[in-house]
Amino acid sequence: MEPDKFEEASRLFYLGLDCQSHGRLAEAESLYLQSLSLAPDRPSILTNLCVVLIQQDKQEAAIQYIDRALELNPEDEAAWIHKAIWLFGRKRPQEALTCCDKAITINHGNAEAHYNRGLILANRGLGLEKHEIHEDALASIDRALAINPKYAAALHCRGNLLQQLGRDEEAIISYRAALANGYDPEELRFSLAALGADATPAAAPADLVVRLFDMYAAVFDQHLTALQYRSPQTLFDAVSPGAPAAGWDIADLGCGTGLCGPLFRPIARTLSGVDLSLNMIRKAKERNVYDQLIQGDITEFLRARAASFDLVIAADVLIYVGDLAPVFDAARQALRRGGRFAFSVETHEGTGFVLQPWRRFAHSLSYVRECAAHYGLGEVIMTREILRKQGGKDVQGGIAVLRLREN
């Protein structure tokens, strides 16, 4: 390559790296493409372009660049890891593991390859028994940490796996080590709080909820079917007898993949859904039952729509909210006089709310009643229900229908 072209390709590449590190992904993509036009056989440009495309959910465009990098250099361990991440995102875990294993064969001391192998096993399992999945995943994570003891993401993953294996004290140690090495403090404190090792927060961190459900969207419906999930049907049965012939204007909070949509559409004049997860919103759009779908925070959505709804529903959403006051206040503002707020909660027998070890909040029904009274929401229905199965056991919960008072 001519020296001038090499220098310009390098300049554009490093500008792209800077944009990528600051979250300016479209700019980074453009700069990498310009750099690649000058240096089409440079693996570092190809792999970084692949990563920035994956970060923008341009999955099909990404793979051509990583495959080109591997054509140029089949021993490129970083390229094999990026291909594993791509395959994992496409729900092809066995192929992803094969790519991790190729990277490990090239360099057994590659901590990132061991970490990604453990992460794939932890999140997919490949049909193994649950305990075996976690032990195998843990072994890969431990190998990554033997290479790099300060690998924050691996320490966090190790804490998750240890918690799932019932080794809570070890999990706390791993979470604290991840915190000391720079992993997301809000998420780690939430995990520590779930184990009783930190103060209970008011709600789950929004970024954590987004990451969880963006990843979960593709298998969400099948998973909940296996858990005998019944909250949408139970909520519908509780509110539908009062629906007018003309229908209600309905808001579906935390709509997810839209499981409530087909049930409530027949009694809706308009049906609006809101969810933090973009991938969930995309799945909900496929149902073609919502008049509008908004990616955003549920309280902000409600506060921006004063007196707009006759019914606000929240099926298995408040399990990610501890302090119910902001949601109740926003729902009161968004409801028309006489409007209903219907939702499910996981319950506990004490007072107030608690964060459970599995990172979901449970509320006492007395606390729900206190919040309702404070915000002028009268009780229509409040019953104890079985919401779904978890670990083969019934999850105890409550279904509430509240009504905004007329005066």
- Cα–Cα distance between 193 and 22 in angstroms, integer? 30
The three-class DSSP label of residue 295 is strand
Is residue 161 domain-shared with residue 221, that is, in the same domain? no
Cα 113 to the chain's mean position, in Å? 23
Measured distance CA(286)–CA(217) in Å, rounded: 12
Angle between helices 325-334 and 365-374 (to 10 degrees): 50
Residue 249, H or E segment: strand 248-253
CATH number of the structural domain spanning residue 64: 1.25.40.10
> Phi-psi category of 228—alpha, beta or left, where left has phi over 0 and alpha has psi -120 to 50?
left
| Range with the poorest average pLDDT among 16-20, 98-102, 374-378, 392-396 | 392-396
- Residue 34 CB partners (closer than 8 Å, separation 6+): 12
Residue 199 lies in a domain: no
Domain containing residue 294: 211-404
Q: Does residue 397 lie in a domain region?
A: yes
In the structure, what pLDDT confidence band is assigned to residue 195 with cuts at 50, 70 and 90? very high
- Phi, psi torsion values for 364, nearest 5 degrees: -80, 145
Q: What mean pLDDT comes out for the span 209-230? A: 73
Residue 308 domain-assigned (yes or no):
yes
Task: Indicate the SS3 state at residue 357.
Answer: coil
User: Hey, what are 41's tokens?
Assistant: 């056989």
Other C-beta atoms closer than 10 Å to the C-beta of 150 total: 12
Query: CA 361 to CA 358: how far, in whole Å?
Result: 9
Q: Yes or no: say if 377 and 405 are a contact pair by the CB < 8 Å rule.
A: yes
Kindly report the CATH number assigned to the domain that includes residue 348: 3.40.50.150
Query: Of 162, 194, 226, which closes a domain?
Result: 194
Residue 205 lies in a domain: no
pLDDT at 126: 45
Interval 263-289: pLDDT, tens: 999 999 999 999 999 989 999 999 999
Quick one: 245 and 351 in the same domain?
Answer: yes
148, 167, 194 — which closes off a domain? 194
Residue 1 neighbours by CB distance under 10 Å: 12
- Residue 200 inside a domain? The answer is no
pLDDT for residue 169 is more than 80: yes
- Could you say which of 147, 163, 194 is where a domain stops? 194
Could you count the other beta carbons within 10 Å of the beta carbon of residue 148? 17
For the entire predicted model, the pTM comes to 0.85
The confidence score (pLDDT) of residue 128 equals 47
- Exposure on the CB side of residue 175, measured as CA atoms within 13 A: 25
Is position 206 within any domain?
A: no
Give the pairing type, strands 268-275 and 248-253.
parallel
The number of distinct structural domains making up the chain is 2
Q: What share of the chain is helix, strand, coil (3-state, %, to 5)?
A: 60, 15, 25
Share of the chain above pLDDT 90, in %: 70
The mean per-residue pLDDT over the stretch 35-42 comes to 89
Question: Does residue 299 share a domain with residue 161?
Answer: no
Q: What is the pLDDT of residue 86?
A: 87
State in Å, rounded, how far the first CA of the chain is from the last one.
79
Average pLDDT score over residue span 308-324:
96
Do 340 and 395 reside in the same domain of the chain? yes
Computed on alpha carbons and rounded to an integer, the radius of gyration of the chain in Å comes to 24
Rounded distance between C-alpha atoms, residue 298 and residue 341, angstroms: 13
Cα angle 192-197-203, degrees, rounded to a multiple of 5: 50
323-332 pLDDT, tens per residue? 999 999 999 9
| Number of CB atoms found within 10 A of residue 307's CB | 11
Can you read off the two tokens belonging to residue 202? 């008011």
Q: For residues 261 and 382, state if they share a domain.
A: yes
Per the prediction, the chain carries an average pLDDT of 90
169 shares a domain with 38: yes
Which of 400, 401, 395 is CA-nearest to residue 356? 395
Regarding whether 218 and 79 lie in a shared domain, the answer is no
Rounded-to-integer distance, Cα 209 and Cα 203, Å: 10
pLDDT digits (tens, 9 = 90+) for 367-404: 999 999 999 999 999 988 877 767 667 778 889 999 99
Counting every residue written for the chain, the total comes to 407
**279 contacts 214 by C-beta, under 8 angstroms:** yes
Q: CA 349, CA 190: separation in Å to the nearest integer?
A: 22
Locate all alpha helices (DSSP H) within 322-381, ordered by sequence.
Answer: 325-334, 365-374
Question: Which two tokens mark 367?
Answer: 């606390």
The bridge status of strand 335-347 relative to strand 309-314 is: parallel
201 in a domain, yes or no? no
Q: Are residues 46 and 138 in the same domain?
A: yes
Helix ranges (H only) for 107-216 are: 111-124, 130-147, 152-164, 168-180, 185-194, 206-216
Same domain, 333 and 394: yes
| Nearest residue to 32 (alpha-carbon basis) of 5, 14, 57, 6 | 14
User: 333 and 189, same structural domain?
Assistant: no
Residue 23 has pLDDT above 80, yes or no: yes
Per-residue pLDDT band at 54 (split at 50, 70, 90): confident
Query: pLDDT class for 127, splitting at 50, 70, 90?
Result: very low
- 203 within some domain: no
Please tell me whether residues 238 and 382 are part of one structural domain: yes
What tokens appear for 105 in the block? 């064969």
**Model pLDDT, residue 44:** 85
State the pLDDT at residue 211. 85
Same domain, 163 and 289: no
Cβ-based neighbour number of residue 129 at 10 Å? 9
